[in-house]
Structure 1
Amino acid sequence: MAGMLPNEFFTPQSMLTLTGATGIVFVVTNGLKTAFNLAPRWMGLAIAQVVAAIGVTLSGGGGMDYFVGVINGFLIFSTAAGVSSAGGSEGATPRGDVLNADDIRQGRKLETRRRFWSSWF
């Protein structure tokens, strides 16, 4: 059984599957979102398109294969976005952090921090 364990998490071969490409997009987008507190929608789409283009290149495709790769990029993005929605909505306010009347008058808002597993939308 020990010989059946993979030596690597992602390989060029696993990246060429929908599951592998979706995993890459999900993990990279959420990692960047969490590290830099970025909005992930467009970033996820861009990463999905790059992953799809790399997949076409690694498989030796050309011409029409790149068009199909763009369509596959949207499929990868949609799948990764669907996985992210399983995390629920953004958690906007940390527990115990509240605004008082003076804060509201001064226009202070609570800072929202994006969690790793949260919806991209």
Structure 2
Amino acid sequence: MEVPKDFFTIQSMLTLSGATGATFMVSNALQSALNFSPKWLALAVAEVVVLAGVYLTGNPPPVEYFIGLINGCLVYTSAAGATSVLGGGAGPQSAIARGGPRGPAPDQVSPQRSFLSSWF
């Protein structure tokens, strides 16, 4: 069996699993390294990955970009699901009643994110 020379290639990024893997890795790395955790970051990464793939297919019609936006949402939800499963989700300590306060109290500092911290 030959050992792969590349981890991600253009061809692998044009698949659902490749785009999801890239979104998962880039989003978690950025959120962990920069302690920057807006909910939209992973969606933006997924859309960039998918729309770049659409562009690289060569002169696509405009409808392909619309389909790319929908596929970007699919990639985002797949990566978010993987992060929730592998990271254990938000956990019971963050469970609150619907409509209750969200985020840390004004006098508390938010903790440093781990690589698999929940995106939500």
For the superposition of Structure 1 and Structure 2, which TM-score range results when normalised by the shorter chain? 0.7 to 0.9
1:54 counterpart (52, 55, 69): 52
Matched-pair identity in %: 50
How much has 1:113 moved relative to structure 2?
Answer: 1.1
5+ residue gaps, structure 1, are 92-106
TM-score relative to the length of structure 1: 0.78
How much has 1:52 moved relative to structure 2?
Answer: 0.8
Deviations 1:6-25 (A, max 9, x none): 11000000000000000110
Contact 1:33 1:116 in 2 (8 A): yes
> Are positions 1:79 and 2:75 aligned together?
no
> What secondary structure sits across from 2:40 in the alignment?
helix
Contact 1:90 1:114 in 2 (8 A): no
How much has 1:88 moved relative to structure 2?
Answer: 1.7
Which structure would you say has the larger Rg?
1
TM-score relative to the length of structure 2: 0.79
2:7 paired residue number: 9
Runs of 4+ in 1 over 4 A off after TM superposition: none
Contact 2:83 2:89 in 1 (8 A): no
Contact 1:30 1:40 in 2 (8 A): no
- How many residue pairs get aligned? The number is 104
